[in-house]
Structure 1
C-alpha cells in the first residue's frame, strides 16, 4: 500500500482524491486500490484561502493525519500529491520533495511560467525521481474508448475539443479551466504542435494549433451557454462527435496516480506536459496580441532572454 501525502487543501481535489483512495464518502465503484492518503498539510493559498477551512474537515474525516508544514510529511509518506489551485505555487512546493527523492504528482496547471516548469522537470530528471501532471479529463472513459477505436477508425487527421474556459485571476487565460479542454486535445493528437493562434472574446476562446505533420487541433473554451465537455474527431473513416462525461474522471486519474507511483513511469511523459504548457502560454500570448500566430518555441526562447 502506497502511503500518500497531500499538500495544500485549497482545491476540491483534496477531498475528491482522498475519498477515492481512502474509500470514504463515495460509491464503491469509485474506490481506488493500491494507495491511501495517510497525512496532509492544509497549507496556504494564493487564490482561494477561504476554501482551506472548508475542505480540511472533509479530508480529516477520511482518516488523514494533519501536519503543519509540508516537510512534516517527509518521513510519513512514500509519494506526495501537490494540489495547490494556483500553478505559481507549485515550484516551491515540489522541489523540497524531489530533493528528498519523494515521487510527486502535481495537479493542473503544472506551472504558470516556462521557467518554473523547466526547473521542476530538470530537477526530477537529475534526481531520477518521478514527477508528473495531468488533468482528469485526459482519462475519461469516452476518450479511452476513442483511443481504443483508433485501429478501426484509421489515421487521426484532426480534432476539435470543447468545454468550459472561465478565466480566473491567478491562473491566466487557459491555465485554469481551459487546460482541461487542451488536455482532451492532447490525449488524442499527442505532442507535436508547432504554432497556435487564438481568437478571444468575453465569452469564448478559440485556439487553432498546427501540428508538425499538418494536422490541425482546435480548442473551443466556452464562458457562456452550455459548457459541457466534448470532442469532434476527424479520422480517415469517420467524423465522430463525442461528449466526454466527467463521471469516472477522478477515479481514472487516481488509478493512473497509483500506476505511476507503482511503476516509476510517468503516465504522461514530462515532454508532453511541457508542451501542453507551451501550447497554453503561446495561446494566451496570441490572444493578448489580437490573434497573431505564435510559435510554441517562442515561449521557451522568450523565457531564456
Structure 2
C-alpha cells in the first residue's frame, strides 16, 4: 500500500485567490496512491455536493458571487493514509477595469545573429486577460505575410503566443521566445493585454547584430614592437643623409685631385719645325700668377693637358716626325 500524494504541486502553490464578481476559478488537488485514493471537497469544513462542483480532482466555481467566498479544502485518503490542501477564495465586489502592464517589460533587447532571446510581458487584470504579441511590418515587407492587421497608419503581424501564467500577486505573465535570430527578426514588438473592459500595450525593439561569418576578415597592419614611428621614419632619412654626404665628399675629393695634378704639370718644351728644341718656359712666380685673371689661368692649364701632335715629313728619303705642342 502507498499513501496518497499530490502529483501536481506546482499548480497548487497559490492558495489565496482573489476574484471579482462574475468571474470563475478552478481549484486543483490531483493525487495518486495505492489503492487509488478518494477525494472529498469541503467548504468551511462542510462537504460540497456534486452540483456545487465538488466532484473529481478539480473544483470549478463559475459566475462567482460574494457567497462563494470562503475556505475550500480537498480531503484525499485511502487505506494507507490521507492528505489535505486548503484554498482561500475571496470574491470582490468591484468593477472590472481594463488590464495594466506592470513593471518595465518588455524592454529593448540586442541579440547576436543566430542567437536566442525573449521578451516578457506582465499584465495585471481583475480577470484572466488575453495576452498577444505582434510585430510591426516595415515598409516593403507586406508581401512576406499572409495576413496583417492595421492600427492607425501602421500594420502589424500577429505572432504565436504561448501559455499565460498566473502569479501569486494577481498578475499574469507571458514570454515571447525568439530563437536563431535573423536580420528579419529585428524591429518593433508589441505586447497587448486585453479583457472585456479594454486593452493596454507596450512596445520594445529588437536589434540583431550582423553575422560575423559573412563579413570579410581584414588583416590589420602590425607595427613591430619597440619601434615607434619617429624611429621608423628617422632610419631611412639618416641613411639617405649619410649617402648624400659620402657622395658629396667623393665628388669634392675628385675635383681637388684633378686640380692638383694640373698644377703640378711642367710646361712642355717648344720645338720649331727647323730649329732645335727650346728650353721650357720659366714658371710664373707667385706674383705673376696672382696677376692673371682666373679665366686666363684656367685656359693656360687646359692647354697643357692637351696631347702633342705628330707631323710626319719626308726629307731626302727619310721620314722625320715633328712634335707640335698646342699652345
TM-score of the superposed pair, with normalisation by structure 2: 0.17
Larger Rg: 1 or 2?
2
Point out the structure with the larger helix share: 1
Report which structure shows greater RCO (CA 8 Å, sep ≥6).
Answer: 1
